[in-house]
Amino acid sequence: MEQRIVVTGASSGIGRAVAVHAARRGWRVLGVARREERLATLAAETGCETLVADLTSDDDVARLVEAATAFGATGLVHVAGGALGSAPIPATTLDDWQGMFDMNVLSTKRVLTGLLPQLRASTAGGTYASIQVVTSIAATTPYVGGSGYNAAKAAEKALVDVLRLEVHGEPIRVMEVRPGMVRTEEFSLVRFEGDQAKADAVYEGVQDPLTADDVAQVMTDALALPGHVSIDEVVIKPVAQTHAWMVHRGPLQAKS
């Protein structure tokens, strides 16, 4: 069966890498993001179709649903999201919390609600549909300074877990991907409001943090499995990261 996947957050980071990997596999891709110029570059490089949309907007998600239906989507890879701030709880702002819940929870609800009818319709010929959502190890492991992001990703994970229960008996696999430390060009930079020094410090001294390409390879490998095989949950961390807050800095060396 031809894979036709909608990839959100496709203008950068993991979402872009997934779109590139999927195109290399010969799958049809509809890349969705807010930044038109970046999507144009992605389309030129991969031949994928694109749609400019802000997933916190009901109107934009309605346009996405229309486009995904015309596209004949058989799968959804929902990557869009993000973190804002790293202050202790009393110093966090409600604006940041609202932003993180809009980006990570409400956008996921909108997209899943909107695309589920098309994904169900795509199974009419006896095939399987796929839903793959990127959350974070922050969804299950709290850490100091992560309160708003921990809460948002925990809520997003709960949403995915409930969806898997609610499509019981249907030919739809629901997969969650929980990455740990991934060095991308924007995640930490956005979190620290453009402070490049703080963003760089997150990865300082860490041997081989994950790249977006690493995560995308795992995600597309999972999607490439036979449709009846569902990897419900996968946690991906670099070897240097044993726990969300336990990161080795310096060379990795075997103990004598």
**What type of residue sits at position 118?**
Q
* Residues 150, 179: Cα–Cα separation, whole Å: 13
Q: Reduced to 3 states, what is the DSSP secondary structure of residue 53?
A: coil
Which residues lie closer than 8 Å to 136 by C-beta, 6 or more apart?
149, 153, 178, 179, 180
Separation of alpha carbons 73 and 77, rounded Å: 11
CA angle 117/119/121 to nearest 5° reads 70
Distance separating alpha carbons of residues 147 and 89, to the nearest angstrom: 6
CB 60 within 8 A of CB 13: no
Phi, psi of 81, deg, nearest 5: 170, -165
3-state SS string for 115-152: HHHHHHHCCCCCCCEEEEEECCHHHCCCCCCCHHHHHH
Q: Which of 128, 143, 149, 203 is catalytic?
A: 149
Question: Is 128 among the residues known to form the active site?
Answer: no
Query: Active-site residue numbers?
Result: 149
